[in-house]
Amino acid sequence: MDQERAIDAFAALAQPTRIAVFRLLVQVGPDGLPALEISRRLGTVPSTLSGHLAILKRADVLTATRRQREIRYAANLASVNNLVSFLLADCCDGQVENCSEILTLLKLPK
């Protein structure tokens, strides 16, 4: 991941409704939820939610899959893992033994 993509991801998540959407989709797992169900669970207006979902998808923190007439959204955990890896790539100035606790918690390669 490069710096521009990381900035886009953080910018997309740096809004209350969008971070709530992302956290909800992390909770429900890889199958995700249809847009209307996300709207219902968060109490957001569907038309407003649509814009938020588009921003999150463009930033690659969500995936969208069409299933018949509905679009299901899911957290793109691979992309978020890349984001975390980008943040920690230079952890402890290369002294990985100083970072082992966080890398173990996040299950990132040492």
Backbone angles phi and psi of 44, in degrees to 5: -105, 150
Q: pLDDT tens-digit profile of 58-104?
A: 999 999 999 888 999 999 999 998 998 888 777 777 666 666 666 66
Provide the token pair at 7: 């900035």
Number of domains in the chain: 1
Q: 100 lies in which domain range?
A: 3-106
Q: pLDDT tens-digit profile of 26-41?
A: 999 999 999 999 999 9
Q: Indicate which CATH number applies to the domain containing 41.
A: 1.10.10.10
The pTM of the full predicted model, rounded to 2 decimals, is: 0.83
Measured between alpha carbons, how far is 72 from 92 in angstroms, rounded to an integer?
39
Q: What is the 3-state secondary structure (H, E, C) of 83-96?
A: HHHHHHCCHHHHCH
